[in-house]
Amino acid sequence: MAFYLIDYENVNKDGMRGISQLTQSDTVCIFYSENASTMTFDLHERINQSKAHITFEKVDVKSKNALDFQLVSYLGYLIATNPDEQFTIISKDTGYRAATRFWQLRDVTITQMHDLTEIPVVSPMIEHTEPETEETLPEETPVEPVIAADPVVNTPVTPTVVSAEAFIHSDEGKKVIEELIAKNRTKLELNNALVKKYGSTRGGEIYNQVKSLVKSEPAPEPAVSSSKNDKEPVATVSSADSFLSAQKDEEEIRAMISKYKTKQGLNNALIKKFGNSRGGEIYKKIKPLLKDKKGK
């Protein structure tokens, strides 16, 4: 999953180039204001055809840089709730560099681009090989009974730096990756370990090749079902419902569930009412009950 936060007031329609290449696992948040609140029919059609999940955030610009501050504030919220994902700010404003640098120092994958066509795509890397060189033979010398020809001197060849894909399939790479995965149970821990060992660029390339081998968190135990054909997680829902019944604010929580149509809206309301810690705990417990609501 990747999040793209667009400063529409800064890049306008040009920043939306490439939106058609995004996938259904991507989320685009478009921040706009009364200073930039129009779009062409062509852009409207491309947005509708995009597979990505797209939201719009209208900003009240009563002060200078109001949109920038609200975009960065929302960025912090997304990072706190999705620490292992990739984040990109779409804007030409260099003021965002301070925010991206702040999070990069804390091992968050974040970049700034001018439009969506600049988004890097991870693809198999081609192993570099040394070009073939024609071997130089020693000059012929007259054959004499006691004089041998000068031996050929081989020039040492500089080792080739193999790609990240080739490295993880080598004997050395397999051993290193297995050791790191055994010691680091989450994607974030594995990424940090690779960057520490190989540097930001090389470590990031290797991480992109192996991150699918590590889960973000331990998988939940399978639900107990009374029928072989029953695929609904009955035990999980029952557990969440029991948790809800034990809360002293049960009626208010149930009212929130009925009021908000999306998972994100409900999550925000719970955090506002009960604070980050307890609100997050309640949302996590009742999430299995929210299959009828939009969002992830």
pLDDT in tens, 164-182: 778 778 888 888 888 888 8
* 14 shares its domain with 114: yes
* 11 shares its domain with 112: yes
Phi, psi dihedral angles at 131 (to 5 degrees):
-65, 145
Report the chain's terminal Cα–Cα distance, integer Å.
11
Task: State yes or no: pLDDT of 139 exceeds 80.
Answer: no
CB 9 within 8 A of CB 35: yes
* 168 shares its domain with 240: no
* 44 shares its domain with 103: yes
Where residue 71 sits, what CATH number does that domain have?
3.40.50
In a domain, residue 227? The reply is no
In a domain, residue 149? The reply is no
pLDDT tens-digit readout, 40-56? 888 888 888 899 999 99
Task: State yes or no: pLDDT of 230 exceeds 70.
Answer: no
* 201 shares its domain with 276: no
What mean pLDDT, rounded, does the chain reach? 77
pLDDT tens-digit readout, 191-214? 888 888 888 788 888 888 888 777
* 183 shares its domain with 257: no
- What whole-number distance in Å separates Cα of residue 222 and Cα of residue 225? 9
Q: Which domain holds residue 274?
A: 234-289
Number of domains comprising the chain? 3
* 198 shares its domain with 268: no
> b/e for 228-248, b at 16 or more Cβ within 10 A?
eeeeebeebeeebeebbeebe
Task: State yes or no: pLDDT of 149 exceeds 80.
Answer: no
Q: Which of 230, 229, 184, 233 is nearest to 206 (CA)?
A: 184
pTM over 0.95: no
